[in-house]
Amino acid sequence: MPVYNAPLEDIKFVLNDVLDASSLTKIEGYEEATGDLVEQILEEGAKLCENVLFPINQSGDEEGCTLKDGVVTTPKGFKEAYKEFTEGGWCGVSGDPEYGGMGLPMLVNTVMQEMICSANFSFGMYPGLSQGAYEALHHYGTDEQKQTYLPKLITGEWSGTMCLTEAHCGTDLGLMRTKAEPNGDDSFNITGSKIFISAGEHDLAENIIHLVLARLPGAPEGVKGISLFVVPKFLPEDMSRNGIECGSIEHKMGIKASSTCVMNLEEAKGWLVGAPHKGLKAMFTMMNAARLGVAMQGLGIAEVAYQNGLAYAKDRLQMRALDGAKFPDKPADPIIVHPDVRRMLLTSKAFCEGSRALSYWVGMNLDISLKHADPDERQAADDLVALLTPIVKAYQTDMGFEISSLAMQIHGGHGYIWEYGVEQYARDARIAMIYEGTNGIQALDLVGRKMGAHMGRYLRRFFHPVSEYIEANQANEKLQEFVFPLAKSFAKLQQSTAIIAQKGLKDPNEAGAASVDYLRQFALVAMGYMWIQMVEAAQKKLDEGTDNKKFYESKIKTARFFFARMLPEGDWHFKAVMSGADNLMDMTEDEF
């Protein structure tokens, strides 16, 4: 049977000792988000994830969703879990108090997303999509739309979706065909079909609020002619059925307890959100929040996979340690004594702990970008979030799948068997590399939009603090073994940046060919930057004489593994960047 225990000790270490998240209380609106309050909330959240969501994860995967007469039924236990989830106020953790939310920092929501995705990836899709709909309406909705929809989204009585993809267009939204015809009042009739709509139809909430991209009559071609509409399943004024329904549900590799729907709209009544033809801007409000959420899915699934790999490695007896029996009273040693098993476990541990710090840092800057009193501070934080969002989305989901695969490998043949649970993690993890913009698209976003934006301003938001940290700690004896490899990797990242900028101006294929390797190289440096700060925080605790010596010593040992065996991966990504585009682009299509 699979296991999951929320990593609260590690979460608290990152929030309190590494990031000093309590500094958010200095921001107006977050004054009450003290460390003690946040810890209490996360402890309650951990109980919900461990005791309510996790027990129905595997059974939900086995049962899946069913569609009958246009109605989707979720697996056994999901309705009861959703009721408990909503009654606990978890849909409104970071919601605006004006509409009934708790008003806590987005960072708290980010932490909760990790634990929810570890406990039950499929379940997390339902409130996760509602969060995206809430953000778009909160930013771009009219006062009437906000009053109508936000309170219900915050309570969870109503849920939300984002309807972008059509059968003939995914990433290239400029090809979409869904039409919106004005009714002569403030409403529109919307006709078209959308596919891959997560949580598009289900039996958990009373109403489902769809945010739909469509074209107005005479709209400009391409993405400049896309508008955003709110299309409720039931019309709020009288709760009569609207012209949007589920035509089918997908039979998927993973996240089987999450309904992925084909949604057909036949003169469905909708209302414009934001300005005409500016729907993509409003939708990207959802997308950016969603991409950080997907990054947390990568981390969440990696964490639970690691926990199961570790538990199995400590329990499974196979052969003796290479340097002699460690447990002579047993017929064989547990497999955790073997170097290759330790390599897989340490890779998993180093990733989970490093990416937790990195993604929480992004989440904290998201809060600063939204609410800090100083506009310069808001802008700096917003720039950093814009830069790092494609990096954490792509890297953490790539690694979520890899760590899930390592957990299967640790289990050997049992890892391939459903009842042990870990093969489900690999199946569930795989989608996160694809949706909300494939990871290749994230890499193109990084080199094509973020790298050159505002004459390199986004890059400077990361490069400057890293450079300053390295310079400030060169003489720190306790950090030197980490500072020097970080400095070398950072220098190569700067070199890659310069080469891509130079070559990309002459030939866009040069930037495209380098993009995926550059993103991974960037991610490893960012992880190194977070790991060295974790070492510094752990060393400070050890110097103070902590009672939890083993916890902090393990941080430093894990950091040594990361800097010795994971950070150097950036070197071959650097070499791939430097190799140029010719080795990718010279071959003609008929030579493949």
Give residue 102's domain range: 8-65+73-153
Could you tell me which residues come within 8 angstroms of residue 464 by beta carbon, excluding any fewer than 6 positions away? none
How far, in Å, CA of 218 to CA of 247, rounded? 29
- State whether 472 and 569 are in the same domain: yes
Q: Determine the residue type at 537.
A: A
- State whether 186 and 216 are in the same domain: yes
- State whether 41 and 174 are in the same domain: no
Asked if residue 591 belongs to a domain, the reply is: no
Among candidates 100, 91, 97, 107, which has minimal Cα distance to 37?
107
Query: Looking at residue 67, what is its pLDDT?
Result: 97
Phi, psi torsion values for 246, nearest 5 degrees = -85, 120
Hey, which residues are catalytic here? Answer: 436
Asked if residue 588 belongs to a domain, the reply is: no
Question: Which burial class, exposed, middle or buried, applies to 139 when counting CB atoms under 10 A from its CB (0-12, 13-18, 19+)?
Answer: middle
Last residue of a domain, one of 153, 179, 200: 153
Asked if residue 592 belongs to a domain, the reply is: no
Last residue of a domain, one of 225, 250, 280: 280
How far, in Å, CA of 107 to CA of 482, rounded? 28
Residues paired with 268 in a beta bridge: 190
In which residue are the tokens 């294929």 written?
509
Residue 455 Ramachandran class (φ > 0 left, ψ -120 to 50 alpha, else beta): left
Output the domain CATH number for residue 138.
1.10.540.10
Output the domain CATH number for residue 253.
2.40.110.20
Chain centroid to CA 11: 16
- State whether 198 and 252 are in the same domain: yes
Asked if residue 429 belongs to a domain, the reply is: yes
Q: Which residues of 291-320 are buried (b: 16+ CB within 10 A; e: fewer)?
A: bbbbbbbbbbbbbbbbbbbbebbeebeeeb
- State whether 314 and 440 are in the same domain: yes
| pLDDT digits 0-9 by tens, 205-257 | 999 999 999 999 999 998 899 999 999 999 999 999 999 999 999 999 999 99
Last residue of a domain, one of 99, 118, 153: 153
- State whether 379 and 426 are in the same domain: yes
Give how many domains the chain has, as a whole number.
3
- State whether 378 and 426 are in the same domain: yes
- State whether 414 and 557 are in the same domain: yes
- State whether 33 and 167 are in the same domain: no
Query: Looking at residue 425, what is its pLDDT?
Result: 98
How far, in Å, CA of 88 to CA of 247, rounded? 33
Asked if residue 464 belongs to a domain, the reply is: yes
Question: Which burial class, exposed, middle or buried, applies to 457 when counting CB atoms under 10 A from its CB (0-12, 13-18, 19+)?
Answer: middle
Distant-in-sequence contacts of 76-85, Cβ < 8 A, 24+ apart: 78/123, 78/204, 78/257, 79/203, 79/204, 81/52, 81/53, 81/56, 81/120, 81/123, 82/123, 82/126, 82/156, 82/204, 82/205, 84/48, 84/52, 85/48, 85/52, 85/53, 85/127, 85/156
How far, in Å, CA of 131 to CA of 128, rounded? 5
Whether pTM exceeds 0.85:
yes
Q: Determine the residue type at 405.
A: S
Question: Which burial class, exposed, middle or buried, applies to 178 when counting CB atoms under 10 A from its CB (0-12, 13-18, 19+)?
Answer: buried
- Are residues 35 and 16 in contact, defined by beta-carbon separation less than 8 angstroms? yes
- Are residues 258 and 198 in contact, defined by beta-carbon separation less than 8 angstroms? yes
Asked if residue 2 belongs to a domain, the reply is: no
Question: DSSP assignment of 153-210, as one string?
Answer: HHHTSEEEEEE--BTTBSS-GGG---EEEE-SSSEEEEEEEEEEEETSS-SSSSEEEE
Chain centroid to CA 242: 32
Question: Residue-wise pLDDT tens for the chain (592 aa)?
Answer: 899 999 999 999 999 999 999 999 999 999 999 999 999 999 999 999 999 999 999 999 999 999 999 999 999 999 999 999 999 999 999 999 999 999 999 999 999 999 999 999 999 999 999 999 999 999 999 999 999 999 999 999 999 999 999 998 878 877 899 999 999 999 999 999 999 999 999 999 999 999 999 999 999 998 899 999 999 999 999 999 999 999 999 999 999 999 999 999 999 999 999 999 999 888 776 676 789 999 999 999 999 999 999 999 999 999 999 999 999 999 999 999 999 999 999 999 999 999 999 999 999 999 999 999 999 999 999 999 999 999 999 999 999 999 999 999 999 999 999 999 999 999 999 999 999 999 999 999 999 999 999 999 999 999 999 999 999 999 999 999 999 999 999 999 999 999 999 999 899 999 999 999 999 999 999 999 999 999 999 999 999 999 999 999 999 999 999 999 999 999 999 999 999 999 999 999 999 9
- State whether 445 and 299 are in the same domain: yes
Output the domain CATH number for residue 346.
1.20.140.10
Please tell me whether residue 266 adopts helix, strand or coil conformation.
strand
Asked if residue 45 belongs to a domain, the reply is: yes
Query: Looking at residue 362, what is its pLDDT?
Result: 97
Numbers of helices and strands, H then E, in the chain: 17, 9
- State whether 185 and 165 are in the same domain: yes
| pLDDT digits 0-9 by tens, 358-367 | 999 999 999 9
Asked if residue 447 belongs to a domain, the reply is: yes
- State whether 558 and 483 are in the same domain: yes
